[in-house]
Amino acid sequence: MTAPTRPLLQVEDLRTWIATDSGPVRAVDGVSLTVAAGEAVGLVGESGSGKSMLARTVMGLLPDRAGTSGTVLLDGVDVLTASTRVRQSLLGPKVAMVFQDAGRALNPVVRIGRQITEGMVRHLGISRAEARERAVGLLTEVGVPDPRRRLANYPFQLSGGMRQRIMIAIALACEPDLLIADEPTTALDVTVQRQILDLLDRVRTTRGMGLVLISHDLGLVAGRTDRVAVMYSGRMVEEGPTDAVFDSPRHRYTEALLASTPSLDAPRARRMRVIEGALPDPRRPPAGCRFAPRCAAADAACEVPGADSLRDGVLGHRHACVHPVPPGAGGVAADRDAALMPADETRS
Amino acid sequence: MAGTGEAHLLTDAADTVLSVHHLQVEYRTPGGVVQAVSDVSFDVRPGETLGLVGESGCGKSTTGKAVLRLEKIASGRVVYRGEDLAATKRGPLRRLRRKLQMIFQDPVSSLNPRRSVRELVVEGLTIAGRPAAERREAADRVLADVGLDPERFGPLYPRQLSGGQAQRVAIARALAIRPDLIVCDEPVSALDVSVQAQIVNLLHDLKDEHDLTLVFISHDLSVVRSVCDRVMVMYLGRICEVGDVESVFAAPAHPYTRALLDSVPRRRAAGGFTGPALEGDIPTPLDPPSGCRFRTRCPLATDRCAEEVPEVRPVGDGHFAACHYAGITADTVRVPAGV
Ligand SMILES: Nc1ncnc2c1ncn2[C@@H]1O[C@H](COP(=O)(O)OP(=O)(O)OP(=O)(O)O)[C@@H](O)[C@H]1O
Ligand SMILES: Nc1ncnc2c1ncn2[C@@H]1O[C@H](COP(=O)(O)OP(=O)(O)OP(=O)(O)O)[C@@H](O)[C@H]1O
Ligand code: SF4
Ligand SMILES: [Mg+2]
Ligand SMILES: [Mg+2]
């Protein structure tokens, strides 16, 4: 991807915390990330590591009692300090989000037709009738059968995967410059999933939309993103070109994550590989590398405060590991088999 | 069954935990009657995990809810350990509810927002009138089982949880009352691979300890492959294929199953996928196609497919499919006339 002059999204040393009765939860703790126009960036990491919180911070949709520091520049505008009015005007045309929990993000008592057209009427200044036509087109594109009749449905009348596609249609309705898709395809079968991802690719190349794809599906992230960032316990532990990170992970957490990935090609095993232990308590994370308590390679040097700062590597492949995996040693097993296959230049 | 028939059922109902015959579920909507589940029959055997996969909107959640009587059945029979659930009165049904659990697809919205995690996970025990000490012990155990520290997560409310944390609370809740059968609807979709593996291993352990039986609805085919003993594939309210997971995945007999397996993202393939994308019109459950419901998108479809509903028939050992041309691939055979 060619780098334009100013990135669409520029997150700098962002911290997001939520006050609770037992102390602040440090959900995002010093993360930097940029996304250029037309670029697809994957965001992966353990459940609870702060991916959705990072996304909600960019959207300005944080829970009560949340606080932030750092900067989040969206096309040059700092959303953390902008007025509510300015922020509202950005939502839809500038940045849109597909929420992880479609069931909760949709309004249960409003027909889906209205939920899709609302933003278009407000932001694009088109008539309700025209917005309806566009909504039908959008639903067709996201593969909802019988779109015209579906507009009259309430969310509860739809299957889980249909609700998710409605969310995607709503997010794309105002033609956002940046789309943050938080687990957009968890309720979709692989054939529909593919149709959606093709659609997002198309919008990205034709309109130059930037995409942040949050997903636990590493196969999907591998095939559909240019760069990938790995989060662990509120910190970014690795970031770089998708191929480089997946073929040759440097951080011990990334390596362990890739090693637990089940694959249709691998022999069928009854027990699956896990990373022993759990995420640290985000109210009192350990000093130094937060993965150290679960890491086989950890020693005293890993527990020194600041040990987990990002180290630069070739081609912008950065990692935060004190004892990194030697280059080329940690790719997934399925990939080593794939060495026999021809290299593909066709990937986006 | 993208046809009909019962060739795939065990002959002796005593060998099953759950046996479903000609299940039919319909929804009335402004646009017409949605035929969500049409003439679906299957059985679930003691201690097994039966996978349920298929296109979004094909009726998996509806099937899961209907067999637990959480959704109204238009016709058909659901027999749980010899008792016909469709005919069971409310009182005895409440007793059975404790043995039959459902993990719902939307984890966050399925949890009462006003209850703490600690209350939520033992709600079943509270309703059963179990003493506080037992509830406390059970809450600690199941939360730890799903990898959530009881001390930290117990006092939280659903909105304070990440997607994957909420999903694990929903799982813990179903496990707390030690049910006999659980219908899990996309139980690991919000979990990263390591936590997912942890849950899958936990389910294996529970099955080893006591004969827990599972119906496992999922879009993640690699998880289905490692968790399930048998798998059933649905398309637009009907069954396409059912069989041992190894045989179905190694030699899919129904054209839809084949298309599904071909669409799995692979690391190295162009765009992340291997086979071609499915084409053709996506039909609507308000007015499903005649004959085989897959015919509008099927590369093998002939005139016969429009006229005759294919019956489930054996295509291998413990492996059944409902396609007139099951086992035939587009590459090995010229597409029959009439296409
Ligand atoms: N309203 C809240 N109050 C307190 N803590 C919260 C709140 N919302 C989220 N958290 C905590 O913040 C942390 C990060 O949550 P986040 O939702 O960003 O995780 P995630 O990476 O998206 O995980 P998942 O993959 O499971 O969705 C979690 O530990 C979560 O429990
Ligand atoms: N309460 C309802 N009222 C009307 N129609 C409904 C209702 N619930 C489900 N449907 C319809 O029934 C069909 C089957 O839905 P179901 O939720 O069972 O699909 P599913 O296979 O679970 O799909 P997904 O994988 O997307 O969750 C869909 O067409 C859906 O729109
Ligand atoms: S060949 Fe005919 S019966 Fe078989 S799946 Fe295709 S349309 Fe259905
Ligand atoms: Mg999340
Ligand atoms: Mg469903």
Note the pLDDT of residue A5: 62
Q: How many domains does chain B have?
A: 1
Q: Give domain status of residue B28, yes or no.
A: yes
Report the largest interatomic distance among the alpha carbons of chain B, rounded to a whole angstrom. Answer: 71
Asked if the Cβ–Cβ distance from A100 to B249 is below 8 Å, we say no
Q: Give domain status of residue B169, yes or no.
A: no
The amino acid that residue B272 corresponds to is G
Contacts of B160 (CB under 8 A, 6+ apart): A18, A20, A63
Q: Give domain status of residue B338, yes or no.
A: no
What's the predicted TM-score (pTM) here? 0.89
ipTM of the complex: 0.88
Asked if the Cβ–Cβ distance from B267 to A216 is below 8 Å, we say no
Residue A40 vs residues A1, A46, A210: alpha-carbon distances, Å: 9, 20, 6
- Closest atom, ligand 2, to C-alpha of B65: 18
Residue ranges of domains in chain A, CATH in brackets: 7-229 (3.40.50.300), 252-345 (no CATH)
Q: Give domain status of residue B214, yes or no.
A: yes
Q: What percent of chain B shows pLDDT beyond 90? A: 63
Q: Give domain status of residue B104, yes or no.
A: no
- Min Cα–Cα distance to chain A from B129, Å: 30
pLDDT tens per residue, range A72-90: 999 999 999 999 999 989 9
pLDDT tens per residue, range A233-271: 999 999 999 999 999 999 999 999 998 887 767 667 667
Query: Which range marks the domain in which residue B73 is found?
Result: 6-99+179-322
Query: Is residue B144 within 8 angstroms of chain A, CB to CB?
Result: no
Chain A, 126 to 185: residues with Cβ < 8 Å from chain B are 143, 145-146, 149-150, 152-153, 157-162, 165, 182-183
Q: Are A111 and A154 in contact (CB under 8 A)?
A: yes
Contacts of B283 (CB under 8 A, 6+ apart): A145, B236, B289, B293, B296
- Cα separation, A135 vs A169, in Å, equals 8
The SS3 of residue A22 is: coil
Nearest to B192 among A18, A153, A216 (CB): A216
pLDDT tens per residue, range B66-78: 999 999 999 999 9
- Cα separation, A15 vs A36, in Å, equals 21
Nearest to B194 among A217, A271, A275 (CB): A275
* Band of residue B1 on the pLDDT scale cut at 50, 70, 90: very low
The answer on pLDDT for B128 being more than 90 is no
Query: Is residue A294 within 8 angstroms of chain B, CB to CB?
Result: no
Specify the CATH number for the domain of residue B223: 3.40.50.300
- B39: CA distance to ligand 5 center in Å? 18
- Min Cα–Cα distance to chain A from B82, Å: 31
pLDDT tens per residue, range B75-93: 999 999 988 987 888 888 8
Q: Are A287 and A206 in contact (CB under 8 A)?
A: no
- Min Cα–Cα distance to chain B from A183, Å: 8
- B325: CA distance to ligand 3 center in Å? 6
The answer on pLDDT for B332 being more than 60 is no
The amino acid that residue A113 corresponds to is G
Contacts of A54 (CB under 8 A, 6+ apart): A11, A14, A16, A28, A31, A33, A43, A231
The answer on pLDDT for A348 being more than 90 is no
Q: Exposed, middle or buried by CB within 10 Å (0-12, 13-18, 19+), for A219? A: buried
Residue A159 in contact with ligand 2 by CB distance below 6 A: yes
Q: Give domain status of residue B239, yes or no.
A: yes
- B239: CA distance to ligand 3 center in Å? 12
Note the pLDDT of residue B87: 81
Best residue among A29, A33, A51 to mutate for probing ligand 1's pocket (most ligand atoms within 8 Å of CB) is A51
Token pair, residue A40, equals 């697809």
Asked if the Cβ–Cβ distance from B269 to A152 is below 8 Å, we say no
Contacts of B107 (CB under 8 A, 6+ apart): A101, B163, B166, B167, B169, B170, B190
- Cα separation, B41 vs B322, in Å, equals 12
Closest residue CA from atom 18 of ligand 2: B59
Query: Is residue B296 within 8 angstroms of chain A, CB to CB?
Result: no
Q: Give domain status of residue B143, yes or no.
A: no
For residues A204-218, average pLDDT: 95
Note the pLDDT of residue B92: 81
Asked if the Cβ–Cβ distance from B269 to A223 is below 8 Å, we say yes
Q: Give domain status of residue B166, yes or no.
A: no
Q: How many other β-carbons are positioned within 10 Å of the β-carbon of residue A315?
A: 9
Query: Is residue A243 within 8 angstroms of chain B, CB to CB?
Result: no
Q: How many other β-carbons are positioned within 10 Å of the β-carbon of residue B279?
A: 9
